[in-house]
Amino acid sequence: MGMTLFSFLEREIDKAAADARSPLLITTPLAGGPVCLTPWAARDLIRQPLEEATVAVWREVVGAAQKEAEGPGRWKLLALWLALPRLRGPVAFAVRRFFLDAADAESEAAAAFLDALAAADPEDPRLGSALADTTCRRLWAYGARTLREVPVVDVAAIAAARTAGLPTEEDLPDETGWNLYIAPPDRKDGLSASLRFTLSSAAVEEVRLTALADRMGLRDTVFRARRPGEGPPIGTLSLRPVGARR
């Protein structure tokens, strides 16, 4: 399993606090005077029921974070790190309740906390609790939105994949048309001989004379016409409805 955002943050704060060249220390004015605290000491302090000390730590960290330039500065990350003990439980609950991915839930919580941090009032006596409460409300709203979202497949992409290589609608044969079969097959220079329809002579005559009479406007007039010449068959030509079995 890869490192989560919260685990990465724990590691980065540990490295920053242990940096001998520029150790991360929190100077907090307590009752006995200013005190320099390591991140671990500050976290332990705000988890104890000492309201004055808790407010003092949060006020110093939030004030320093708000003075940083935009971006993930070390004081912003420290503020988020201090809040992790209060955020892990709600994040785990959101993962179960809203079926969230753990990485998504941690990222949403971190983004919500940093937004709340930027707008926080350092003089708020409930500063730490207010930051955590705002973060949780936004996390619940995010989880509720994901429940309302219904994932759907890309129907168009699936249809395109399944029909790839098939003829287009314009290339499809007419369902009411006919398929033509010729035996023997035609040669490069054309058919082996002229076509002759193997209908009865009477049927051929009727079709030909009817078409001629229609063109001349003489449907009711009977004309005599020359019958097609006879000759030995050299092959066959058959017409079948499209889709019919051969």
- How many residues would you count in the chain? 246
Give the whole-angstrom CA distance, residue 18 versus residue 40: 11
The 10s digit of each residue's pLDDT in 181-215 is 666 666 777 666 666 656 666 666 666 666 666 66
**Nearest 5°: CA angle at 112, between 41 and 62?**
40
Cβ atoms 56, 29 nearer than 8 A: yes
pLDDT tens across the length of the chain (246 residues) = 567 899 988 888 888 777 756 666 778 777 667 888 888 888 998 888 778 888 889 999 999 999 987 777 889 999 999 999 999 999 999 999 999 999 999 999 999 999 999 999 999 989 999 999 999 999 999 999 988 865 666 667 776 777 676 666 666 656 556 666 666 666 777 666 666 656 666 666 666 666 666 666 555 554 444 444 555 665 665 555 566 666
The pLDDT value recorded for residue 73 is 85
Nearest to 82 by CA among 33, 34, 119, 131: 131
The pLDDT value recorded for residue 139 is 96
The pLDDT value recorded for residue 224 is 44
Give the whole-angstrom CA distance, residue 51 versus residue 45: 10
The pLDDT value recorded for residue 226 is 41
Nearest to 117 by CA among 158, 83, 157, 76: 76
Cβ atoms 228, 204 nearer than 8 A: yes
pTM of the predicted protein model: 0.58
The 10s digit of each residue's pLDDT in 136-157 is 999 999 999 988 865 666 667 7
Give the whole-angstrom CA distance, residue 114 versus residue 178: 72
Give the whole-angstrom CA distance, residue 161 versus residue 139: 38
Q: 117 to each of 62, 102, 128, 194, 196, how far by Cα in Å?
A: 7, 22, 10, 92, 92
